């Protein structure tokens, strides 16, 4: 009952939508339109086919400057080398230095026509029938870097981050924690997008260590509040939309034009300290319970390597093995153009939205989501199984 196009947009906005289970987005586009081949070997189980071509940023070594890239097979393609060779020669990108920058912000600000031009250029250059890169050994050596030799970094400067409450299953489970089963889902949830502004500085790339937060916990009965490590640590698998061009201050974007502002999707994990959150969130919403990390996961695989502290029944620490928590997003952004083969009709909104939220054409993306956890079962709690279509 909401759509990402209902949003106001900033210059670069990360918009997050919660699902119960998580996908490998890149893999979804790897087996589509296989008629287009590349001169670079791409194994059948690779997440990085020529149909995908996600965008990211990498460092050749830890102290090197970040460079922009796409991915194909087992290689990252250094877009700065492609740009310096003058191969982004279309009408929009020929005069732009956006691929010489350390982040994608300038490229994203150019909008959908530039995004389509870049994708068409890269697909042509990497195709099996195009000699420009294929037959230029020097340029191939400069621009094709084995993935195993690079460090991926966050590919954009995130100026704002908005977290949406989009899954009914999650809304019910989370609402039950805070308000009980009778008042789990507020009435407004069925009529408009529910969201809050997150802390953009807490977003990190997949694999970054994040500490278990400490704060005041929710008291029970007549007990006073307590301070210490969170005892109710939770994570939500989410998909985040990366937004490019924004809007003027005070000027709304029409719901039927909003898709042109969305560049692509990443996987995201939103970590929450539910005991801290439950105690602090009334009346203004989450603060420290949702501020300690947002984790971006690699779209081709991700692993919840959660090292936790074991507690006895009284809550005392028995032994400590450290902790990995946070808001994590993937280093690779899968574009909406790459996901177009997975577009599907949106489910019917009930009740029907107000006119300013009503789309002429309502479209979702059908992507299978799943999570794998290596934690012992006594540390796990799963919400109901849920399959959702991503609204765009």
Quickly list H helices, 201-354. Answer: 274-280, 336-339
Structure-block tokens of residue 133 = 């890169």
Give the angle 109-115-116 at the CA atoms, nearest 5°. 150
Among candidate residues 367, 371, 357, 358, the one with its CA nearest the CA of residue 387:
367
281 annotated to a ligand binding site: yes
248 annotated to a ligand binding site: no
For residue 9, the SS3 value is: coil
Using CA of residue 97, residue 99, residue 102, residue 103, what is the dihedral sign? positive
51 annotated to a ligand binding site: no
234 annotated to a ligand binding site: no
Separation of alpha carbons 110 and 295, rounded Å: 27
Burial of 207 (0-12, 13-18, 19+ CB in 10 A): middle
316 annotated to a ligand binding site: no
**DSSP code, position 290:** G
366 annotated to a ligand binding site: no
The DSSP bridge pattern shows strands 203-205 and 294-297 to be parallel
Separation of alpha carbons 293 and 203, rounded Å: 6
Cβ(116)–Cβ(91) below 8 Å: no
Separation of alpha carbons 384 and 21, rounded Å: 10
Cβ(208)–Cβ(298) below 8 Å: no
**DSSP code, position 234:** E
Annotated catalytic residues are 170
294 annotated to a ligand binding site: no
Task: Give residues with Cβ within 8 angstroms of 319, minimum separation 6.
Answer: 309, 310
290 annotated to a ligand binding site: yes
Q: Is the peptide bond before 351 cis (omega within 30 degrees of 0)?
A: yes
Known binding-site residue numbers for Mg(2+): 270, 290, 327
Known binding-site residue numbers: 163, 165, 179, 236, 238, 270, 277, 281, 290, 327
Known binding-site residue numbers for substrate: 165, 179, 277, 281
Known binding-site residue numbers for Ca(2+): 163, 236, 238, 270
């Amino acid at each position: 009952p909401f759509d990402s196009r209902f949003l106001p947009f900033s210059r670069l906005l990360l918009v997050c939508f919660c699902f119960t289970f998580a996908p490998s987005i890149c893999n979804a586009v790897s087996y589509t339109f296989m008629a287009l081949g590349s001169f670079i070997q791409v194994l059948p189980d690779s997440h990085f086919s020529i149909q995908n071509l996600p965008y990211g940023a990498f460092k050749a070594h830890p102290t090197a400057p970040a460079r922009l890239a796409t991915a194909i097979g087992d290689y990252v393609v250094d877009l700065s080398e492609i740009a310096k060779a003058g191969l982004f020669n279309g009408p929009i990108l020929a005069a732009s230095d956006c691929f010489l920058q350390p982040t994608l912000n300038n490229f994203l600000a150019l909008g959908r026509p530039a995004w389509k031009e870049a994708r068409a250029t890269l697909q042509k250059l990497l195709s099996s029938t195009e000699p420009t890169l294929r037959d230029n050994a020097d340029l191939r050596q400069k621009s094709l870097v084995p993935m195993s030799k690079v460090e991926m970094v966050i590919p954009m400067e995130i100026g704002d981050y908005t977290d949406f409450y989009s899954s009914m299953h999650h809304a019910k489970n989370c609402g039950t924690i805070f308000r009980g089963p009778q008042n789990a889902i507020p009435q407004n949830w069925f009529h408009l997008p529910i969201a809050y502004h997150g802390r953009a500085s807490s977003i990190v790339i997949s694999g970054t260590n994040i500490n278990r937060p400490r704060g005041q916990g929710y008291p029970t009965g007549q007990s006073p509040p307590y301070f210490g490590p969170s005892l109710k640590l939770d994570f939500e698998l989410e998909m985040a939309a990366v937004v490019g061009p924004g809007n003027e201050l005070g000027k709304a974007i029409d719901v039927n034009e909003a898709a042109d502002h969305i560049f692509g999707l990443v996987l995201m994990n939103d970590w929450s300290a539910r005991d801290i959150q439950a105690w602090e969130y009334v009346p203004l919403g989450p603060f420290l319970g949702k501020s300690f990390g947002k984790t971006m996961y690699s779209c081709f695989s991700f692993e919840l390597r959660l090292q936790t502290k074991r507690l006895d029944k009284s809550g005392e620490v028995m032994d400590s093995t450290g902790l990995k928590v946070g808001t994590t997003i993937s280093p690779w952004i899968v574009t909406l153009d790459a996901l177009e083969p997975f577009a599907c009709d949106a489910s019917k909104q009930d009740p029907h939205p107000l006119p300013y939220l009503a789309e002429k054409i309502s479209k979702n993306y059908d992507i299978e989501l799943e999570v794998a956890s290596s934690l012992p079962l006594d540390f796990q709690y799963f919400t109901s199984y849920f399959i959702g279509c991503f609204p765009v």
